[in-house]
Amino acid sequence: MNELHPREIRGFRLFDGLLDADMQAAIVEDVRRVIRAAPLFVPVTPRGKPMSVRMTGAGRLGWVTDRGGYRYDERHPAGGAWPAIPDRILSVWREVVPEARDPECCLVNWYDPAARMGLHQDRDEADLTQPVVSISLGDDALFRIGNQTRGGSTESLWLRSGDVLVMAGDARLRYHGVDRIAVGTSTLLGAPGRINLTLRVVT
Ligand SMILES: O=C(O)CCC(=O)C(=O)O
């Protein structure tokens, strides 16, 4: 991993290019193994709208959404347990948030070129003093950061392959989302698109 020099944007800590090319490629292989064990699925909002990202997860608990609501579940929607969080991904968490408990969920988001994610808070976790760590792989994403409540001004930045973002402390409940993917900005995945991993302590 490269050196740790985060910059701060609205309380989010961004480690630009923390993961070097070898580490990114190895994590992509880890994610492919996770997807083989727990296939990507189409998440549906509680109102019945399919989200544009495809999702899966690793860890004791996975984040799911359907007509039954947003929640963590011990089982993938197809019924099986989630695979373990790969050690390499855990090592990134331990490097950037050494004070935190180990994560219980690694949510995998797959963005095809048209996918996006609306502004939202991550608030389905029991202990909001624990951070969320996000890892970006593949094409660049235009990431938008808002406030602790809906509305108000927002600030955007590009998340690039190998970037690691920490949402913690006062920034833990800031609204955030992805406006678009810039196709062709990375060759890591061998195809257009982006993988985002978010690591969370759930209980
Ligand atoms: O894809 C990203 O960078 C953000 C993902 C996210 O906000 C989430 O999974 O809650």
Pocket test for ligand 1, best of 55, 196, 197, 202 (most atoms within 8 A of CB): 196
The residues facing 1 across adjacent strands are: none
Whether 109 shows a pLDDT value over 80: the answer reads yes
Measuring CA to CA, which residue among 89, 170, 87, 177 is closest to residue 133? 89
pTM, two decimal places: 0.97
Rounded mean pLDDT, 151-164: 98
Pocket test for ligand 1, best of 111, 178, 179, 197 (most atoms within 8 A of CB): 178
The residues facing 58 across adjacent strands are: 106
Domains in the chain, start-ordered, CATH in brackets?
7-200 (2.60.120.590)
| 144 CA → ligand 1 middle, Å | 10
Rounded mean pLDDT, 88-93: 98
pLDDT of residue 2: 67
Give the residue, by CA position, lying nearest to ligand 1 atom 9. 198
With a 6 Å cutoff on the Cβ, whether 195 touches ligand 1 is: no
Average model confidence (pLDDT) across the chain: 97
> What does the pLDDT look like over 45-74, one tens digit per residue?
999 999 999 999 999 999 999 999 999 999
